[in-house]
C-alpha cells in the first residue's frame, strides 16, 4: 500500500504530528498527572485556545523555569551569557536556532534571554 | 501504515520515576492508539479530533467481527459476547429491522422485491449505524460513569450472506476504516453445518437462536414460542454454504492479520470460553517494558534455576536474597558487618536489614534500566508490604507449586563436593566417579528435619502472600526445567490480560 503510506506520511508531516506527540509525551512525563487522559485533554484544549488567541499555549517551561535556566547558564552571576550558550539552550529545548543572527561577542542579558525564549516557544506552538 | 517514533524509547537512560510512571499508565499504548486513529481518519483539524478521541475513552472497548458459515453459531456467540461486555450487536437483521436508519427504507424495499441488496447500501447502513451516538458513547444502564467518561463498546456480526459479500467487506473497510480489534471466525465441516441448520429454531421475541438438540431453552414459555426460521430447507442451506465458500477467501484475505479461527464443532461452552479468552488477550504491544519479576515458592522448587535462565536470556539482573546477604558479609560492607552475627549464629536476619540491602541493590542503575528478577524474598506478607512501601513494585509475580514428595526428593538428595564446590543430586545428577561420590557431603540445611521446618514456615505464609499478590501466575514446578522456562517466558512477554470485564 505504498500510496496509502505516502499519503499518511504526508499527512503527518503537514500537521506536524510527530512533534506534537513528542511534546505531549514530554509534558506527560514531566508533570506525571494522576489521570493522563484528562491532562492530555486539558493540554490540547489549551493549544486550541492558544490557536484562537484566547489563551496561553501549554509551554513546558514557565517564566520561573526560564529564569532558573538563565541563572544556571550564568555561572559567575555576571548578568549576561554568551550567544553560544543561548544557542545551546535553545537547542536543548528543541527550539530552532535558524534565525538567530548574533555576533559572537554580543552579551545576552536576562531580559533578552527571556524575551527570546518566549518568542521562540510561541512560534513553535503557533503552527498548530 | 506509517507510525512516528515514540519518545519514550528514544532516551537511553530515562530517569526512573518517569519510566515507571509511563509504564503504569500505559502511556505508550495511549499515544499509539491516538496516532492510529489519526492516521485512519486523517481529520483536517487534528487537535479537535484528538480532544474528542480522548474524551471518548474507548480504547479498550472491543470491536469484534464474527465471521462464519451459516449454522456455525455466530448469533449465539455474538449475543453472549454482547451480554458479557455490555456491547452492541450489529448484524443483517438488526440493520434491517431493529434500527431505523435513513437508508433502512431503501434496503427494505429491495428485500420486498426479493432483490439482492447492493453492497454499497449495506456499507452505508453499517457506517450510519456505527456513527450513531450509542455506538460511540454507549450510555450504561444505570447511568454510572467511569472516570467521568462514558466508554463505549461495539460488537459486529457480519454473517455470510446474500447481502454481504467480499466486495461489501472491501467497501466497508475502505469507507469506514474500521479499526477492528479482533475478528474471529467459526469453522466447521459442511456436513456438520447442514445437520445443525436442520434443528435451528428462532425465538421471535428476543431474536435468540436455539437448537432442538444442542441448545434447548429451559424456560417452557420460550419453548412454546420457538418457530422454525424461513428458508431452512436443506437445499437453501447448501446454496448458502456454496455462496459462503465462494466469497470466503476474499474476506479471509482482508481480515487475515487479525483473524483467529475457532472450531465451532465443539460444545458451546468450549467455543464461548475460547472466544472470551481470545477477546480478552491484549495484543503484544511495542511499549518499552522493564521486567521486575518475583519468584516465590517452597525451597527446592527451582526458583534460582529459572531466575538464572531468565537473567541469562533477557539480560535482567538476577538477585537471590540469600546470595545477596552472603555477598554483603563477604564484602565486609557496613551492612555486611551488621548482618554477620545473625548469619553466623544461624538466626534469621531481621527484616529491616534485609530490606535495606535489597532497596540499595534494586535501586542501582543496572537494575533500574535492565530490570531484575528476585527470588527468595518476600517470605511473608509483612515483608511484602515493606517492599511495597519502599516503592519496589514487581510487575510479574510467580508462585511455584511443587508437591511435598517432589520437594523432599529434590532436597534430601542434594550433595556437594567439598573439593570442587560442584553441586550434585543422587538421583538426577549423580557424581561422575566413585571417588567423588565418596567425598560428597550434605548441607545440614538439607537434612530431613530441617527441610520439614523450612517447608512448614513456607506453607504457613504462602496463603497470605497469594492473597497479597493478586495478579500472580502459578507455575507447575514439577516439570522439565525448559518447559517451565517457556511458560514463564510467555507470561512475562505477553501483556497482562485485560481485566476490566
In chain A, which residues have their Cβ closer than 8 Å to the Cβ of B51?
41, 44-45, 48
Q: For position B245, what pLDDT does the model report?
A: 79
pLDDT bucket at B443, cuts 50 / 70 / 90: confident
Question: Is the pLDDT higher at A56 or at B370?
Answer: B370
pLDDT recorded at residue B16: 59
Distance from CA of B42 to the nearest CA of A (A): 7
Of all residues in chain B, the one with the smallest CA distance to A46 is B47
pLDDT confidence of residue B232: 66
Across residues A103-116, what is the average pLDDT?
76
Residue that wins the pLDDT comparison between A72 and B115: A72
pLDDT for B249 equals: 76
How far apart are alpha carbons B124 and B414 in whole angstroms?
72
Contact B47 A4 (CB under 8 A): no
To the nearest whole angstrom, how far is the Cα of B254 from the nearest Cα of chain A?
13
Which residue of A5, A9, A17 is in closest CB contact with B38?
A: A17
Q: Please determine, for residue B7, whether its predicted confidence score (pLDDT) is greater than 60.
A: no
Count residue pairs from A and B with Cβ separation < 8 A.
Answer: 75
Between residues B30 and A58, the one the model is more confident about: B30
B483, with CB counted inside 10 A (0-12, 13-18, 19+), is exposed
Q: What is the pLDDT of residue B145?
A: 31
Q: What are the DSSP calls for A61-99, one per residue?
A: S-HHHHHHHHHHH-TT--SEE-HHHHHHHHHHTT---TT
Say how far apart CA B182 and CA B258 lie, in whole Å. 6
Residue B148 and residue B98 in contact, taking contact as beta carbons nearer than 8 Å? no
- Give the residue from B451, B408, B443, B400 showing the smallest Cα distance to B424: B443
Q: Which residues pair with B475 in a beta bridge?
A: B400
Q: Does A49 reach chain B within 8 Å, measured CB to CB?
A: no
Mean pLDDT of chain B: 73
| Nearest CB partner across the interface for B7, out of A11, A22, A51 | A22
Q: Does A21 score more than 50 pLDDT?
A: yes
Superfamily of segment(s) B287-493: P-loop containing nucleotide triphosphate hydrolases (3.40.50.300)
Per-residue b/e over B378-409, b at no fewer than 16 CB within 10 Å? bbbbebbebbeeeebebbbbbbbebeeeebeb
Please count the other Cβ atoms lying within 10 Å of the Cβ belonging to residue B501: 15
Nearest residue of A to residue B7 by CA position?
Answer: A22
Q: Which three cell numbers stand for residue B229?
A: 426460521
B416: three-class secondary structure by DSSP: strand
pLDDT confidence bin for B61, thresholds 50/70/90: low
For the segment B83-94, the average pLDDT, to the nearest whole number, is: 67
Inform me whether the pLDDT recorded for B318 exceeds 50: yes
Which has more confidence, B493 or B384? B384
Is B31 in CB contact (< 8 Å) with chain A?
yes
Which chain B residues are Cβ-neighbours of A54 within 8 angstroms? none
CB within 8 Å: B18 and A41:
no
Residue B324 has pLDDT above 60, yes or no: yes
Taking only the tens place, the pLDDT of each residue in B29-42 is 788 878 877 777 77
CB contact under 8 A, B149 and A37: yes
Residue extents of the structural domains in chain B: 36-47+54-280, 287-493
Please name the CATH architecture into which domain B36-47+54-280 falls.
3-Layer(aba) Sandwich (3.40)
When pLDDT is cut at 50, 70 and 90, the band that residue B152 belongs to is very low
B343 touches chain A (CB under 8 A): no
Inter-chain residue contact A24 with B31, CB threshold 8 Å: yes
Confidence at B86, pLDDT banded by 50, 70, 90: low
Which position has the higher pLDDT, B4 or B48?
B48
CB proximity list for A81: less than 8 A, separation 6 or greater:
A70, A73, A74, A107, A108, A113
DSSP 8-state symbol, B347? P
Distance from CA of B6 to the nearest CA of A (A): 7
Which chain A residues contact residue B4 at CB under 8 A? Answer: 12, 17-18, 21
pLDDT tens, residue by residue, B217-243: 777 777 777 777 766 677 777 777 787
Answer whether B25 touches A (CB < 8 Å).
yes
Q: Does A35 touch chain B (CB under 8 A)?
A: yes
Q: Give me the pLDDT at residue A73, please.
A: 79
Residue numbers in B near A12 (CB within 8 A): 2, 4, 39
Terminal Cα-to-Cα distance of chain A (whole angstroms): 29
Check for a shared fold between B36-47+54-280 and B287-493.
yes
Q: Would the CB atoms of B35 and A21 count as touching at under 8 Å?
A: yes
Q: How far apart are CA B12 and CA A67, in angstroms?
A: 28
Identify the closest residue of chain A to B14 by CA–CA distance. Answer: A29
Q: Kindly tell me the burial class for residue B411, based on how many C-beta atoms sit within 10 Å of its own C-beta (0-12, 13-18, 19 or more).
A: buried
A54 — contact with chain B (CB < 8 Å)?
no
Lowest mean pLDDT among A79-93, B96-110, B129-143, B448-462: B129-143
Mean pLDDT of A59-77: 77
Please determine, for residue B409, whether its predicted confidence score (pLDDT) is greater than 80: yes
The segment with the largest mean pLDDT, out of A91-100, A106-115, B8-17, B314-323, is B314-323
Predicted pLDDT at A53? 65
Let me know if A97 is exposed, middle or buried by CB neighbors in 10 A (0-12, 13-18, 19+).
Answer: middle
CA A11 to chain centre: 22
| Reported confidence tier of residue B112, pLDDT bands at 50, 70, 90 | low
- Give yes or no for a contact between B40 and B177, defined as CB atoms under 8 angstroms apart: yes
Range with the lowest mean pLDDT among B94-98, B260-264, B380-384? B94-98
pLDDT at position B6 is 40
How near does any CA of chain B get to the CA of A61, in Å? 18
Would you give the distance in Å from CA A117 to the centre of its chain? 8
Average of per-residue pLDDT across B283-304: 79
pLDDT at B355 over 70: yes
Q: Do B57 and A37 touch (CB under 8 A)?
A: yes
Shortest CA distance from B53: residue in chain A? A41
By CB neighbour count within 10 A (0-12 exposed, 13-18 middle, 19+ buried), where does B198 fall? middle
Stretch among A89-98, B46-55, B486-495 having the lowest mean pLDDT: A89-98
Kindly report the backbone phi and psi dihedral angles of residue B189, in degrees, each rounded to the nearest multiple of 5, phi listed first: -75, 155
Residue with the larger pLDDT of the pair B418 and B183 = B418
Which residues 6+ apart lie within 8 Å of B36 measured at CB?
B1, B3, B179
Strand boundaries in B69-208, DSSP class E = 89-90, 154-157, 182-187, 200-202
Residue A113 has pLDDT above 60, yes or no: yes
In B409-468, the residues whose Cβ lies within 8 Å of chain A are none
B376 vs B444: CA distance, rounded Å:
19
Amino acid at each position: 500500500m505504498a500510496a496509502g503510506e505516502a499519503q499518511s506520511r504526508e499527512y503527518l508531516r503537514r500537521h506536524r504530528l510527530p512533534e506534537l506527540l513528542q511534546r505531549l509525551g514530554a509534558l506527560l512525563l514531566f508533570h506525571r498527572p494522576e489521570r493522563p487522559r484528562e491532562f492530555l485533554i486539558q493540554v490540547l484544549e489549551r493549544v486550541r485556545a492558544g490557536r484562537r488567541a484566547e489563551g496561553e499555549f501549554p509551554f513546558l517551561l514557565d517564566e520561573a523555569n526560564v529564569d532558573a535556566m538563565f541563572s544556571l547558564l550564568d555561572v559567575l552571576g555576571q548578568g549576561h551569557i554568551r550567544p553560544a550558550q543561548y544557542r545551546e539552550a535553545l537547542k536543548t529545548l528543541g527550539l530552532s536556532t535558524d534565525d538567530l543572527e548574533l555576533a559572537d561577542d554580543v552579551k545576552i542579558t536576562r531580559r533578552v534571554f527571556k524575551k527570546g525564549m518566549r518568542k521562540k516557544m510561541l512560534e513553535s506552538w503557533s503552527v498548530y | 501504515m506509517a507510525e512516528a517514533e515514540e519518545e519514550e524509547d528514544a532516551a537511553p537512560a530515562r530517569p526512573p520515576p518517569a519510566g515507571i510512571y509511563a509504564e503504569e499508565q500505559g502511556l505508550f499504548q495511549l499515544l499509539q492508539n491516538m496516532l492510529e486513529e489519526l492516521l485512519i481518519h486523517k481529520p483536517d483539524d487534528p487537535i479537535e479530533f484528538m480532544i474528542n478521541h480522548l474524551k471518548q475513552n474507548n480504547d479498550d472497548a472491543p470491536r469484534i467481527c464474527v465471521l462464519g458459515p451459516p449454522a456455525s453459531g455466530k448469533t449465539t456467540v455474538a449475543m453472549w459476547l454482547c451480554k458479557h461486555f455490555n456491547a452492541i450487536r450489529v448484524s443483517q437483521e438488526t440493520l434491517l429491522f431493529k434500527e431505523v436508519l435513513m437508508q433502512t427504507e431503501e434496503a427494505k424495499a429491495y428485500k420486498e422485491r426479493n432483490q439482492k441488496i447492493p453492497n454499497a447500501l449495506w456499507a452505508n447502513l453499517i457506517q450510519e449505524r456505527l456513527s450513531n451516538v450509542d455506538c460511540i458513547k454507549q450510555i450504561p444502564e444505570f447511568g454510572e460513569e467511569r472516570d467521568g467518561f462514558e466508554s463505549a463498546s461495539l460488537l459486529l456480526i457480519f454473517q455470510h450472506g446474500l447481502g454481504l459479500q467480499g466486495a461489501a467487506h472491501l467497501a466497508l473497510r475502505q469507507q469506514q476504516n474500521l479499526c477492528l480489534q479482533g475478528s474471529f471466525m467459526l469453522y466447521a465441516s459442511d456436513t456438520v453445518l447442514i445437520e445443525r441448520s436442520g434443528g435451528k429454531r428462532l425465538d421471535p421475541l428476543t431474536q435468540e437462536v436455539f437448537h432442538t438438540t444442542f441448545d434447548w431453552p429451559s424456560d417452557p414459555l420460550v419453548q412454546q414460542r420457538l418457530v422454525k426460521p424461513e428458508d431452512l430447507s436443506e437445499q437453501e442451506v447448501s446454496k448458502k454454504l456454496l455462496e459462503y465458500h465462494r466469497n470466503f477467501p476474499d474476506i479471509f484475505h482482508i481480515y487475515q492479520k487479525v483473524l483467529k479461527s475457532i472450531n465451532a464443532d465443539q460444545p458451546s461452552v468450549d467455543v464461548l470460553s475460547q472466544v472470551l479468552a481470545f477477546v480478552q488477550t491484549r495484543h503484544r504491544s511495542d511499549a518499552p517494558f522493564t521486567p521486575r519479576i518475583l519468584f516465590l515458592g517452597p525451597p527446592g522448587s527451582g526458583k534460582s534455576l529459572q531466575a538464572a535462565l531468565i537473567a541469562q536470556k533477557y539480560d535482567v539482573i538476577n538477585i537471590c536474597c540469600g546470595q545477596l546477604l552472603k555477598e554483603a558479609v563477604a564484602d565486609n560492607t557496613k551492612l555486611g558487618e551488621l548482618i554477620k552475627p545473625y548469619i553466623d549464629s544461624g538466626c534469621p536476619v531481621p527484616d529491616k536489614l534485609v530490606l535495606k540491602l535489597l532497596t540499595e541493590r534494586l535501586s542501582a542503575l543496572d537494575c533500574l534500566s535492565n530490570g531484575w528478577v528476585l527470588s527468595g524474598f518476600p517470605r511473608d506478607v509483612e515483608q511484602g508490604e515493606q517492599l511495597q512501601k519502599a516503592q519496589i513494585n514487581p510487575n510479574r509475580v510467580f508462585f511455584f507449586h511443587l508437591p511435598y514428595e517432589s520437594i523432599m526428593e529434590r532436597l534430601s538428595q542434594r550433595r556437594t563436593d567439598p573439593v570442587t564446590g560442584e553441586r550434585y543430586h543422587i538421583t538426577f545428577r549423580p557424581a561422575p566417579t566413585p571417588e567423588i561420590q565418596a567425598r560428597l557431603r550434605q548441607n545440614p540445611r538439607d537434612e530431613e528435619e530441617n527441610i520439614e521446618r523450612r517447608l512448614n514456615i513456607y506453607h504457613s505464609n504462602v496463603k497470605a502472600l497469594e492473597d497479597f499478590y493478586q495478579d500472580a501466575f502459578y507455575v507447575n514446578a514439577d516439570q522439565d526445567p525448559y518447559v517451565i522456562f517457556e511458560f514463564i517466558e510467555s507470561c512475562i512477554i505477553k501483556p497482562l490480560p485485560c481485566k476490566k470485564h
